[in-house]
Chain A
Amino acid sequence: KDSKPAKDEL
């Protein structure tokens, strides 16, 4: 499971 939050913000 991916525990690193995605950098999906601007």
Chain B
Amino acid sequence: MNIFRLAGDMTHLASVLVLLLKIHTIKSCAGVSLKTQELYAIVFTTRYLDIFTDFISLYNTFMKLIFLGSSYSIVWYIRRHKIVRRSYDKNQDTFRHVFLILPCIVLALLINEKLTFKEVLWAFSLYLEAVAILPQLVLLQRTKNIDNLTGQYVFLLGVYRALYIVNWIYRYFTETHFVHWITWISGLVQTLLYADFFYYYFQSWKTNQKLQLPA
């Protein structure tokens, strides 16, 4: 494992922990999109089915369990926790799952490495991950005051994606037979979705003002 991949995984982990700690300590999920969190729960569930079939490393299995556990915990907090769920604004978080899930199913059936149940699910999880952040970005745009933690959560997720791209470039040149077109293209699309957010994030940081996305 190279340093970019490890740094990417660590920022991913940090983003999830920031979000979980925010929700757990201030007992509020204001500004957090339940839709995005549910999509991530689906993404991890469909991709990490391989913990039962392939063993890669302890690190790999451990991280998979963490991502599965954290995404389900966040969904649980927003839906079921008696205090947290009161802060969830259903009327702002209106993105429809089905508009993202259905096209991803179709795409996964058409473009996959092999037409098997596992491979189609794997491709589906990558396509869905690429667009899963959209409900969160839409919600950020609607929210007047984005709190620091929600901003940091999205920022860390964006950094994680960017580091994965550097990791693929590194692996392409240092390893033989390392070609995963599906991963790379959907990963690139995913990272581009953060570009706009990054722009405003750095602007607000430079001018020391509260982050606000234009409508």
B67/A10 in contact, CB under 8 A: yes
Q: Specify the chain A residue showing the minimal Cβ separation from B56.
A: A8
Our pick among B9, B167, B178 for the contact of A5 (Cβ within 8 Å) is: B178
A7/B50 in contact, CB under 8 A: yes
Q: What is the interface of chain A mostly: helix, strand, loop, or mixed?
A: loop
Residue B102 is within 8 A (CB to CB) of chain A in the complex: no
Q: Which of A1-10 contact B (CB under 8 A)?
A: 1-10
Residues of chain A with a CB closer than 8 A to B179's CB: 5
Binding site for A on B (CB under 8 A): 5, 9, 12, 50, 54, 56-57, 60, 63-64, 67, 122, 164, 167, 177-180, 183
Known pairs A5-B178, A10-B64. 4 more at Cβ < 8 A? A5-B179, A6-B56, A8-B60, A10-B63
